[in-house]
Amino acid sequence: MQPEAGDRAHAESSSAERLAAVEREVAAACAEAGREPSTVTLIAVAKTFPAQTIRPIIAARHRVFGESRVQEAKAKWSALKAANPGLELHMIGPLQSNKAREALALFDAIHSVDRPSLCAALGKEIERQGRQPLLFVEINTGAEPQKAGVLPQDADAFLRNCAATYGLTISGLMCIPPFDEPPAPHFALTAKIARRNGLGLLSMGMSGDFAQAIRLGATHVRIGSAIFGERPPHATN
Ligand SMILES: *Cc1c(COP(=O)(O)O)cnc(C)c1O
């Protein structure tokens, strides 16, 4: 399996080297799929890692990062953003409606739009702050009860409501396939829902499966451990 091969490489290489290796794999997957590498954005997922671990990746000229908690992101990125103009920060974790204000002030993209109450809060804050982040609706493709996201059968109506009721411009869909299933059918389903709703962006693919996601149309891959190394257990979000 890919993750194991990756793990061995992690022990002997720096995060900047691992980033370069991931970039090469992204380019190879694009070539195989007949796609331009510029159509895939690599989001370096920095959750749980401190600023000193992130700085070498910024120094290697990477600019797009992901975080999954508002408070953690605020603590780490306020200073990093001030010191490094041009950074782009993506919120990839579940977002509570009462954090919409802070999230919009900090993030350039939100991948986890999944509830009417969050849509309402985001709509209000987008207007108030005059910011327009890139928005993705999260699809719970495996219909997992513990997981966030809109059920596939509710997706079309939810997307219509985002525009009609909350005035949100949704640019794409995001999915996190079930941990214990082959991811390809989940990527394909997400791509299909996006296509029939006229959405151009697909946030899918993580360290273990980004090549497959790119083959199935991913425009944003969210890669953490393949770049930064293993996270401590209990810290997957
Ligand atoms: C942590 C996380 C990732 C990155 O996972 P890796 O397997 O470390 O690449 C991607 N997407 C989401 C939503 C995450 O929470």
pLDDT tens track for 107-157: 999 999 999 999 999 999 999 999 999 999 999 999 999 999 999 999 999
Q: Can you give the pLDDT at residue 232? A: 75
- Residues near 102 by Cβ (< 8 Å), separated by ≥ 6? 70, 74
Q: Domain spans of the chain?
A: 2-228
* Residue 9, pLDDT above cutoff 80: no
Q: Which helix H or strand E contains 213, and what residues bound it?
A: helix 210-215
The percentage of the chain sitting over the pLDDT mark of 90, rounded to a whole number, equals 92
DSSP codes, 154-165: GHHHHHHHHHHT
Q: Can you give the pLDDT at residue 12? A: 61
* 176 Cα: distance to centroid of ligand 1 (angstroms): 9
End-to-end CA distance of the chain: give it in Å, rounded.
23
Q: Can you give the pLDDT at residue 6? A: 47
User: Atom 6 of ligand 1 has which residue's CA nearest to it?
Assistant: 224
Beta carbon of 45 within 6 Å of any ligand 1 atom:
yes
pTM (global) more than 0.95: no
Beta carbon of 222 within 6 Å of any ligand 1 atom:
yes
Q: Looking at domain 2-228, which CATH architecture does it have? A: Alpha-Beta Barrel (3.20)
How does the average pLDDT of the chain come out, rounded? Answer: 94
What single-letter DSSP state applies at residue 232?
P
pLDDT in tens, 43-90: 999 999 999 999 999 999 999 999 999 999 999 999 999 999 999 999
User: Atom 13 of ligand 1 has which residue's CA nearest to it?
Assistant: 92
Q: Can you give the pLDDT at residue 200? A: 98
Beta carbon of 224 within 6 Å of any ligand 1 atom:
yes
Among 10, 206, 209, residue to substitute to test ligand 1 (most atoms within 8 Å of Cβ): 206
User: Atom 15 of ligand 1 has which residue's CA nearest to it?
Assistant: 237
